[in-house]
């Protein structure tokens, strides 16, 4: 299982890599759960971190396929290996497929993989049920799916979706040949559960940050390393079994 760590700067990216992160995810939490950073920062990271898997979020997107496709093309051309699409404004399956198809078309030929994201707390804003993600990804030609939490108010993905629902999602994704990722308030204690559910990517930010007196979060390589060890130990124990 790969460890994805969301970062907001090149300095944080270097810290995450030093701790053992597999995928560096460039985002701006001030703009939302999947808040977009800038193409300049993605390009800067690509130039500095040449042999690293780089992910870029496009934001909690409205249902505007043209806007989404331009954003996706920018992220791909800036050097992102993965382009993450937050299907926030796409309430219906057909809307989600339409927007996702435009994003896939925009990224075609760039080498970037498209990851579609929906939110475990979708009922709070009448959003798209994340259990529909594999269907949307398959219909649009996307490469993978991600479940996250939209409102970062201390909640966890397991507060909104059951393990049975999440297992079904990961199985559906695997059967369709899709990458499956889980995020949203995950902690080191959740590693074993997430692996048993069948997800291929474990995504975090809060779990690897220390909180400063002013409330800001600072990424800490020792917390990344601790989480990386937890993943390795779970995988080794499963191999023994």
Query: The CATH number of the domain where 21 resides is what?
Result: 3.20.20.70
Domain count of the chain?
A: 1
Question: Which of 84, 123, 135, 212 is an active site residue?
Answer: 84
Q: What Rg, from alpha-carbon coordinates, does the chain have?
A: 17
pLDDT tens digits along 98-138: 999 999 999 999 999 999 999 999 999 999 999 999 999 99
pLDDT tens digits along 139-157: 999 999 999 999 877 789 9
**Confidence at 239, pLDDT banded by 50, 70, 90:** low
pLDDT tens digits along 52-87: 999 999 999 999 999 999 999 999 999 999 999 999
Evaluate if residue 240 carries a pLDDT over 50.
Answer: no
Range of the domain at 198: 2-240
113 is catalytic: no
Evaluate if residue 234 carries a pLDDT over 50.
Answer: yes
Q: Which residue has the higher pLDDT, 214 or 173?
A: 173
Evaluate if residue 215 carries a pLDDT over 90.
Answer: no
Q: Rounded CA gap, 89 and 229, in Å?
A: 37
Percent share of the chain, pLDDT over 70:
99
Q: Rounded CA gap, 4 and 139, in Å?
A: 26
Evaluate if residue 192 carries a pLDDT over 80.
Answer: yes
Work out the mean pLDDT of the chain and round it to a whole number.
Answer: 95
Q: Which residue has the higher pLDDT, 135 or 213?
A: 135
84 is catalytic: yes
Q: Is 164 exposed, middle or buried (0-12, 13-18, 19+ CB in 10 A)?
A: exposed
Q: Which residue has the higher pLDDT, 14 or 211?
A: 14
Question: Which of 2, 27, 113, 123 is an active site residue?
Answer: 27
Q: Rounded CA gap, 128 and 114, in Å?
A: 18
pLDDT at 214: 83
Among 201, 96, 94, smallest CA distance to 85 is for 96
């Amino acid at each position: 299982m790969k460890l994805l760590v969301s970062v907001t700067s090149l300095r944080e990216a270097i810290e995450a890599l030093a701790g053992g992160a597999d995928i560096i995810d460039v985002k701006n939490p001030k703009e939302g759960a999947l808040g977009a950073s800038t193409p300049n920062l993605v390009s800067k990271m690509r130039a500095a971190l040449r042999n690293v898997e780089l992910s870029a979020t496009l934001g909690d997107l409205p249902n505007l396929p043209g806007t989404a496709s331009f954003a996706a093309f920018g992220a791909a051309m800036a050097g992102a290996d993965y382009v993450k699409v937050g299907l926030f404004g796409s309430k219906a399956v057909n809307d989600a497929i339409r927007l996702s198809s435009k994003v896939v078309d925009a990224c075609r030929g760039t080498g970037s993989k498209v990851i579609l994201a929906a939110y475990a707390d979708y009922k709070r804003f009448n959003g798209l049920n994340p259990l529909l993600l594999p269907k949307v990804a398959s219909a649009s030609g996307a490469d993978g799916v991600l479940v996250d939490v939209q409102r970062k108010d201390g909640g966890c993905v397991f507060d909104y979706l059951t393990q049975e629902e999440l297992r079904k999602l990961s199985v559906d994704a695997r059967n369709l040949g899709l990458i499956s990722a889980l995020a949203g308030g995950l902690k080191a204690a959740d590693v074993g559960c997430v692996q048993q559910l069948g997800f291929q990517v474990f995504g975090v930010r809060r779990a690897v940050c220390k909180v400063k007196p002013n409330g800001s979060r600072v990424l800490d390589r020792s917390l990344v390393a601790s989480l990386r060890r937890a993943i390795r130990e779970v995988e080794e124990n499963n191999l023994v079994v």
